[in-house]
Amino acid sequence: MKLEQKEKSLLFSETIIPDIFFSEHLSELPGDYLKIYMYILFLSKYGKDIKLTDLSKKLNIPLKIINDGIKFLEEHELITKKTNGYIIVDLQESTLHNLYTPNLSLSKEKVEQTAKNKTKARAIEHINNMYFQGIMGPSWYNDIDLWFSKYGFDEEVMLALFNYAYEKRALHRNYIQATAEAWNRNGIKTFNDLDLYFEKSEKRNSLNNEISKKLNLYRKLTTYEEEDIAKWTEVYNYKMDIIEIALKKASSNNKVRFDYIDAMITDWHSKDLHTPEEVLAYIESTKNNNKDTKRSKNSRQAQSFEYTQSTFDNLNDLYDN
């Protein structure tokens, strides 16, 4: 006995997308890649064969973006390449497979972790309710548990991590992973560590803005310029009263360049100068020595008109004016 179901016409048919797609993948897909995925999902129902060039024309998306999108979907395990095309991954089946890990015995370590795991579970449940409206995708549970183990964050730091991403409107896996890596590199484990990190970052940003304003730089500082400022304040332990002397000198000499400013400040540090008074006295003495040296040189070379451009090779040149 053969049973058949009447095939629906295009007008009455539908393309089903599992909820796991919305909770696990939607936030990570750029707009054009989402259009590609939706359309090939629609075509796959009918076993259609379509060339990438035709797909480009149909969706009005450049061919390069089509190729990049297909690669992205494959890397994110939404489609799987085969000999003559691609298979749409069954997201419900693949998620279940990734989550299922047989637990044949309860180890001593797991027993000892029970109390701690309960605290983690409460944190994860709070994340689910607060940021995912109670429908957080299953793989997020594994990711959060992994981040707990990998980075040693306490529960308050994990909650702060998701809150930080939420406030930045970047509540997706890649951004949270990158932020967690950055916090880990800065030695953050507890909420107190995080609080100190934010305080330090706020002071650094404030100082960067103050220096930009004093130099009339109407742009964001480069990473290298920010590293120079961090070196002056965190390695040399100079405060703004000393840094400002270099800023004023650079401005008065029309040399508002960080290499010029850094050369001066590094010179002061190498001379073991610690106060504004010591720096100003050093600058004055260097200027006087330069004048004496130039007078002596001019008297010896009175008949010479040779011109040599000054560089930072002779640090005394920094203080000529």
Nearest 5°: phi and psi at 319? Answer: -115, 20
Give just the sign of the alpha carbon dihedral 107, 113, 118, 123. negative
The confidence score (pLDDT) of residue 218 equals: 81
Q: Where in the chain is the domain with CATH 1.10.10.10?
A: 19-93
Nearest 5°: phi and psi at 80? Answer: -125, 130
Encode pLDDT of 139-170 as tens digits.
Answer: 888 889 889 989 999 999 999 999 999 999 99
pLDDT tier at 191 (50, 70, 90 boundaries)?
Answer: very high
Above pLDDT 90, what percent of the chain? 32
pLDDT tier at 82 (50, 70, 90 boundaries)?
Answer: confident
Task: Report the predicted TM-score, pTM, of the whole model to 2 decimal places.
Answer: 0.52
Nearest 5°: phi and psi at 79? Answer: -135, 160
CATH code that applies to domain 19-93: 1.10.10.10
Q: What is the mean pLDDT of residues 24-32?
A: 83
The confidence score (pLDDT) of residue 240 equals: 93
pLDDT tier at 310 (50, 70, 90 boundaries)?
Answer: very low
Encode pLDDT of 128-144 as tens digits.
Answer: 888 888 888 888 888 89
More confident residue, 261 or 85: 261
Q: Over 50: is that where the pLDDT of 309 sits? A: no
The confidence score (pLDDT) of residue 120 equals: 85
Distance between CA atoms of residues 268 and 248, nearest Å:
15
Encode pLDDT of 270-282 as tens digits.
Answer: 999 999 999 999 9
Q: Which fold has domain 114-189?
A: Arc Repressor Mutant, subunit A (1.10.10)
Encode pLDDT of 68-81 as tens digits.
Answer: 988 888 888 888 88
Q: Over 70: is that where the pLDDT of 187 sits? A: yes
Distance between CA atoms of residues 312 and 281, nearest Å:
20
The confidence score (pLDDT) of residue 116 equals: 65
The confidence score (pLDDT) of residue 59 equals: 87
Query: Which secondary structure element, helix H or strand E, spans residue 82, and what is its range?
Result: strand 79-82
